[in-house]
């Protein structure tokens, strides 16, 4: 389960990321809470707009971010992006602690953070293969998810308690300090032990190659279609959790604990994925179906305790999809194309938030938070249906090709539909 941790560079990465991710979840919790309860009067739409500003650059800058990840040293890219996000966190802490923070300032911060994150995400995901190589990549991706969601178990709970005790500004200050862990880890790595980084992109004329590559690969394309539906409408948990916390009449501490409840399921899902030798399409598609059922339970929870249990289930089911999808795309992508393909994946998975978050926020304002969650139910159910139809067609085409009754290539050149 922990095979990748035998490699020094990955150990440095894992523990640096764990500390940094704790800070990131503290910041995300505090940011959603002050927008909803301090800077507005329980306006879920404002939370949605803030999310749109943060994740919009993932979509708009995907051609450039993918090119950068394939053209330049990914370790150096990450040093720049992590340092920049740390400085932004310092600025946010300063304006909040001094009491001058306004909604437009938080929105400007979200946009700046989103632009930086759009460069960080594809380089970060593609860099993992340089740390561990192809054989251990699925295990490393799963452990990354465990680290990310393990931090989610701690960060929101600490943030909720800290907001109540000292205020959100000091939460942002603590997050700024945690970026040092990732920077130190990157500087400490043994560069001679890193896998070579293929230089597949030479200029802007190569940007379109990433899109064309995905268009020719239906096994990658179908995962991205499912990801865009889930990412756009299904993963707006800052809105879901904050509005349901208010719906049940609870405070910031409960908001943080609910976020941590979801992380318990996410960590469990990531550790289960780490045990597998390779990703499975059955878990990608099945995870979506179970996510839809779990979201329906969350939408109609009779009390906050039941809601917390459904969040844990959603964390587990969502992680089954995300970890297997990420590993499948990375393993089936040519190394020289990986940065551009992962930039596209990040764009469709996170870049849909600028569209989905305001819609979900509007529905929550107009009809109530439970109906906002129902938007996620419908999106996940549609994605599940699309995945099932494709999988059945792929298996049929694969069987016909193997038996020689169909004289055309199978529906995908790389898919082993038996998994």
Report d(CA 172, CA 162) in Å as an integer: 10
346 near 117, Cβ under 8 Å?
no
Q: Hey, what are 208's tokens?
A: 């379109």
Report d(CA 330, CA 345) in Å as an integer: 10
pLDDT above 70 coverage of the chain, percent: 90
* Whether the predicted pLDDT of 405 surpasses 70: no
| DSSP code per residue over 301-357 | -SSHHHHHHHHHHHHHHHHHHHHHHHHHHHHTS-GGGHHHHHHHHHHHHHTTHHHHH
**Looking up tokens 């993992």, which residue turns up?**
128
* Whether the predicted pLDDT of 351 surpasses 80: no
Q: Hey, what are 169's tokens?
A: 């500004």
Instruction: Write down the number of H helices and E strands in the chain.
Output: 16, 0
pLDDT at 400: 55
Q: Average of pLDDT values for 225-244?
A: 88
More confident residue, 79 or 164: 79
Tell me how crowded residue 219 is: count the other CB atoms within 10 A of its CB: 20
Comparing 90-104, 128-142, 198-212, 246-260, the range with the smallest average pLDDT is: 198-212
Q: Which residues contact 125 (CB under 8 A, 6 or more apart)?
A: 326, 330, 342, 345, 346
CA angle 174, 313, 129 (to 5 degrees): 60
**Per-residue pLDDT band at 418 (split at 50, 70, 90):** very low
* Whether the predicted pLDDT of 407 surpasses 60: no
* Whether the predicted pLDDT of 127 surpasses 70: yes
Which pTM value belongs to this model? 0.69
Q: Hey, what are 419's tokens?
A: 């998994």
Q: Residue 292: enclosing H or E segment and its boundaries?
A: helix 281-299
| Residue 7 CA to its chain's centroid (Å) | 24
Q: Hey, what are 377's tokens?
A: 């139910």
Q: Which residues contact 391 (CB under 8 A, 6 or more apart)?
A: 281, 282, 285, 417
**Per-residue pLDDT band at 36 (split at 50, 70, 90):** confident
* Whether the predicted pLDDT of 415 surpasses 70: no
pLDDT at 349: 75
Q: Average of pLDDT values for 308-328?
A: 89
List the one residue out of 117, 81, 121, 122 whose CA is nearest residue 340. Answer: 122
**Per-residue pLDDT band at 409 (split at 50, 70, 90):** very low
Write down all domains in the chain, each with its CATH number in brackets.
3-403 (1.20.1250.20)
* Whether the predicted pLDDT of 402 surpasses 70: no
pLDDT at 416: 40
Q: Residue 353: enclosing H or E segment and its boundaries?
A: helix 353-367
Comparing 65-69, 341-345, 346-350, 364-368, the range with the smallest average pLDDT is: 346-350
What are the tens digits of pLDDT across the range 149-208?
778 778 887 888 888 888 889 999 999 999 999 999 999 998 888 877 655 555 555 657
**Looking up tokens 């999809």, which residue turns up?**
321
Comparing 30-39, 141-150, 287-296, the range with the smallest average pLDDT is: 141-150
């Amino acid at each position: 389960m922990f095979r990748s941790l035998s490699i020094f560079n990955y150990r440095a990465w894992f523990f640096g990321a764990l500390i940094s991710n704790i800070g990131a979840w503290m910041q995300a919790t505090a940011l959603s809470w002050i927008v909803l309860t301090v800077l507005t009067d329980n306006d879920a739409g404002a939370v949605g707009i803030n999310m749109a500003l943060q994740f919009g650059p993932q979509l708009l800058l995907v051609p450039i971010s993918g090119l950068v990840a394939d053209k330049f040293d990914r370790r150096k890219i990450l040093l720049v992006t992590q340092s920049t996000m740390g400085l932004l966190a310092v600025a946010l802490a300063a304006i909040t602690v001094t009491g001058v923070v306004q909604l437009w300032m938080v929105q400007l911060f979200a946009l700046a953070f989103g632009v930086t994150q759009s460069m960080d995400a594809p380089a970060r995901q593609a860099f993992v293969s340089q740390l561990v190589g192809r054989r251990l990549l699925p295990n490393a991706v799963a452990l990354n998810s465990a680290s990310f969601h393990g931090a989610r178990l701690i960060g929101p709970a600490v943030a909720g308690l800290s907001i109540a005790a000292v205020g959100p500004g000091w939460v942002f200050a603590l997050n700024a300090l945690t970026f040092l862990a990732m920077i130190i880890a990157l500087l400490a790595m043994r560069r001679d032990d890193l896998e070579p980084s293929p230089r597949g992109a030479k200029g802007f004329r190569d940007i379109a190659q990433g899109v064309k590559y995905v268009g020719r690969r239906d096994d990658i394309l179908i995962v991205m279609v499912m990801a865009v539906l889930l990412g756009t409408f299904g993963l707006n948990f800052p809105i879901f959790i904050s509005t349901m916390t208010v719906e049940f009449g609870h405070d910031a501490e409960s908001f943080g604990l609910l976020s941590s409840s979801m992380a318990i399921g996410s960590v469990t899902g990531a550790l289960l994925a780490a045990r597998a030798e390779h990703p499975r399409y059955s878990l990608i598609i099945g995870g979506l179906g179970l996510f839809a059922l779990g979201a329906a339970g969350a939408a109609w929870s009779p009390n906050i305790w039941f809601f917390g249990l459904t969040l844990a289930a959603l964390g587990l089911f969502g992680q089954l999809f995300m970890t297997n999808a990420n590993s499948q795309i990375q393993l089936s992508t040519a190394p020289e194309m990986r940065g551009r393909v992962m930039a596209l994946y990040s764009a469709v998975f996170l870049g849909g938030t600028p569209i989905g978050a305001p819609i979900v926020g509007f529905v929550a304002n107009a009809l109530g938070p439970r109906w906002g969650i129902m938007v996620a139910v419908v999106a996940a159910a549609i994605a599940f249906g699309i995945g099932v139809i494709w999988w059945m067609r792929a298996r049929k085409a694969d069987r016909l090709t193997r038996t020689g009754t169909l004289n055309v290539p199978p529906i995908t050149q790389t898919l082993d539909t038996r998994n």
